Chain A
Amino acid sequence: MIRNQLLVCAGGACITSGEKSVKDVLVEELKKNNIEDEVQLIETGCMGACDLGPIVVVYPEGTFYQKVNVKNAPLIVTEHLVKGRTVPDLLYSEPVGEKKAHTSAEIPFYARQVKRVLRNCGAIDPLSIDEYIARDGYFALAKALEMTQEEIIKLLIDSGLRGRGGAGFPTGLKWKAAREAVGSPKYVVCNGDEGDPGAFMDRSVLEGDPHSIIEAMTIAGYAIGAQKGYMYVRAEYPLAIERFDYALSKAREMGFLGDNILNSGFDFDIEIRIGAGAFVCGEETALLRSIEGKRGTPTVKPPFPAQSGLWGQPTLINNVETYANISQIIIKGAEWFRSVGSLKSPGTKVFALAGNVQNTGLVEVPMGTTLRELVFEIGGGIPGGKKFKAAQTGGPSGGVITADYLDMPIDFDTVKEIGTIMGSGGLIVLDETSCMVDVAKFYLGFTVDESCGKCTPCREGTRQMYQMLERICDGKGKDGDIQKLNRLAETIKDTSLCGLGQSAPNPVLSTIRFYKDEYEAHIGEKRCPAHVCKHLLVYSINAEKCVGCTACARQCPAQAIAGEVRKAHVIDQSKCIKCGSCYETCRFGAISKE
């Protein structure tokens, strides 16, 4: 007889924070106290609040313990489970104030979320197909198999679901095209490449609720007339691969995959393909080449994958989060789906909050939520009393949303209007210490590395832009650089072969649009307002604070610091290589950088 259940978050971040050893300690303690038969421990997928990990939730109370470690984990057993006393030190409390939250519902980070895509993540055991079924899993498949292909597709079109992989293309129309395309066999593909550095919702769904993707891909197979599916996962996600693979074997065992699924006469199976570290493989045509075992270089569209995809056959490709919406739409209908979100972007969106924000992690909110709600109410604002500067969305294909747009509802169309894209939902918060030129350079460096080299504008053009930015950050910018950057950016956008090149200039264009003054300061005044660009910094020693300990002079690799013992030192600016060693060495705060 089980009296309590311990849900231990085994998402990526919690594992990184030591979840495995915490779990071992809990198991050990349960045994020591002879209650291992009464208390069940379950490892779940990601619960979302990544910086609170490792997280342990005790049911039936729903008590939410955070930042559990091997030292305090035994208290959960000896205090809570044996003596019935909550462990106050492990409860969450607001950064300001004394109030402690007992359950996740009392924590602002969770309270404002609407969990649809993530509804099972952190709530069920991802290794248990039964628990998935208990949450209505595979009922959508059973229902879909009794519908006609047209009915399913009409339902999707009515729902207004748009692809969550970045571009926001209407999913129903894509399925329709794939169904109507002539050719056999057809294929269903799931894009789990999640290349945007800063996004990890697809990973969480694959790790925390793998069956939801299997079910949706199977429904897709039925709706377009395909019998074979491919799950493409990036190699950087070994745990996602392992859990998905396990889920596949369970689904086969139960007959949700294989021949004659649920006695419907429909056959379908899924194979996993592992990426090998190439960002461009997130682009759909490149991804298809990679599944074919080739170099992942994109091809010109049209033809679109729906007409000519894998091995030239009609192929439906959708993103993980897109698939994660399908089953619930089948069960609950188009109206239900449209009941949250904005008119043209219905439903929810999962964002990966990261960067300089208090609460990092995965949050699912209705489309049309404002940046202010995301960053300040859910994200808890900026740590260290710093000022919010901007949020970057869309990764290397996107741009920034500035403080002026904090109250703009965020959906596919509104962000486009201000020059960025929704992308996969990575949302990196930047505070006043971020230099926007440096951020643009960072993204462009990424594209230069990841350009596959097939077309010239992307291969050479992005490199040229990168070198210009490098010059600007090194204090060698020239008048007219901004115009040149703009012109080259437009050319690359217009002439690149695939989405990678076509969107690569966005981070530069977007930051020029909103932070032109920063570019001008770098170019004209040779100054980095955020004090980030190394070569534009000036280090100097405050004679009043300097005690003459000589530590900095000994550290300086360029012998640029002179001075006698116990007397104030000075930096010879002509010798200084701006490495910052002195700044890090000084224990008296006597060195400033500007």
Chain B
Amino acid sequence: MSMNLEERLKENPELKKQVDELNVFIDEHGTREGSLINVLHRAQEIFGYLPDEILEYVAKKLNVPRSSVYGVVTFYHFFSRVPKGRHTISVCLGTACYVRGGNNVYDKIVKTLGIKAGETTQDGRFSLDLVRCVGACGLAPVVVIDKDTYGRSTPDKVVTLLNKYA
């Protein structure tokens, strides 16, 4: 990154809007003790992931060492430092989903999209994640795409499902 964030903000109104949005949240909640994780959640909602420059920015705003911010971001699975695809597929491999064949569903997605968990397709359409239990065990195996949860999935059904997401 050749330019620092402040300079880029002047040139990029889109980015400035996003950072302003984050500032609103920080001003409201950032002063509470231990608010770092909540702020990072909000930042990831806004930017889709957590770019390094934003982590730096958050560290400064909250007056937390950059090392601590980095430590937190890498500790929790939920945070991503690389951009995600337009759609995130989360295949549940909690126990109930596992014993009902969730791994076959996962394998099928891997085969179909050519990516593994933690990766994003080249065209930026899908990111794939494995999760441990989304709490819909009664309908195992479960696949979550963005905010929609699909129960009783099968390798065949999931392929049709993927076609719904452009």
Q: Do chains A and B touch in the complex (CB under 8 A)?
A: yes
Report how far A567 CA is from B87 CA in the complex, Å: 47
**Which chain B residue lies CB-closest to A238?**
B147
CB distance from B62 to the nearest CB of A (A): 9
From B15-23, B34-42, B120-128, give the one contacting chain A: B34-42
Which residues of B are in contact with A by a Cβ distance under 8 Å?
A: 32-38, 40-41, 64, 68, 71-72, 75-79, 93-96, 98-100, 131-140, 142, 147, 149-151
Which residues of A are in contact with B by a Cβ distance under 8 Å?
A: 12-13, 15-17, 50-51, 53, 194-200, 203, 235-238, 271, 273-279, 290-297, 311, 352-356, 360-361, 392, 395, 426, 428, 430, 434, 439, 442-443, 446, 449-450, 452
Report how far A284 CA is from B38 CA in the complex, Å: 19
CB distance from A550 to the nearest CB of B (A): 22
Report how far A311 CA is from B33 CA in the complex, Å: 9
Q: A13-B138, A274-B38, A354-B96 are in contact. List 20 more A-B contacts (CB 8 A).
A: A50-B138, A53-B139, A196-B133, A197-B94, A197-B96, A198-B137, A199-B137, A200-B135, A200-B137, A274-B37, A276-B41, A290-B37, A292-B33, A292-B34, A293-B34, A293-B72, A296-B76, A355-B99, A361-B138, A430-B99
Question: How many A-B contacts at CB < 8 Å in the complex?
Answer: 141
Contact across chains for A236 and B133 when beta carbons are under 8 A apart: yes
Contact across chains for B78 and A194 when beta carbons are under 8 A apart: no
CB distance from B39 to the nearest CB of A (A): 9
Report how far A195 CA is from B134 CA in the complex, Å: 10
Q: A434-B99, A442-B98 are in contact. Are A294 and B68 (CB under 8 A)?
A: yes
Report how far A361 CA is from B135 CA in the complex, Å: 10
Question: What are 7 residue pairs bridging A and B, where the CB atoms are less than 8 Å apart in the complex?
Answer: A12-B136, A198-B137, A199-B137, A274-B37, A293-B35, A294-B71, A296-B75
Report how far A541 CA is from B131 CA in the complex, Å: 37
Contact across chains for A236 and B131 when beta carbons are under 8 A apart: yes
Contact across chains for B37 and A273 when beta carbons are under 8 A apart: yes
Closest 6 CB pairs of A and B: A50-B138, A197-B94, A276-B76, A197-B133, A277-B77, A293-B34
Contact across chains for B95 and A426 when beta carbons are under 8 A apart: yes
Contact across chains for A12 and B135 when beta carbons are under 8 A apart: yes
Contact across chains for A392 and B95 when beta carbons are under 8 A apart: yes
CB distance from B37 to the nearest CB of A (A): 5
Contact across chains for A428 and B38 when beta carbons are under 8 A apart: no
Report how far A277 CA is from B134 CA in the complex, Å: 11
Q: A13-B139, A51-B139, A360-B138 are in contact. Are A277 and B95 (CB under 8 A)?
A: no
Q: A16-B142, A296-B75 are in contact. Are A194 and B41 (CB under 8 A)?
A: no
Q: A200-B135, A236-B135 are in contact. Are A428 and B149 (CB under 8 A)?
A: no
Q: A355 touches which one: B77, B95, B139, B151 (CB < 8 A)?
A: B95
Most chain B C-beta atoms within 10 Å of own C-beta, residue among A238, A294, A426: A294
Contacts of B41 in A (CB 8 A): 235, 274, 276
Contact across chains for B76 and A277 when beta carbons are under 8 A apart: yes
Report how far A419 CA is from B139 CA in the complex, Å: 29
Contact across chains for A198 and B96 when beta carbons are under 8 A apart: yes
Contacts of A195 in B (CB 8 A): 132-133
Contacts of A392 in B (CB 8 A): 95
Contacts of A237 in B (CB 8 A): 135
Contacts of B33 in A (CB 8 A): 292-293, 311
Report how far A275 CA is from B75 CA in the complex, Å: 11
**Which chain A residue lies CB-closest to B137?**
A354
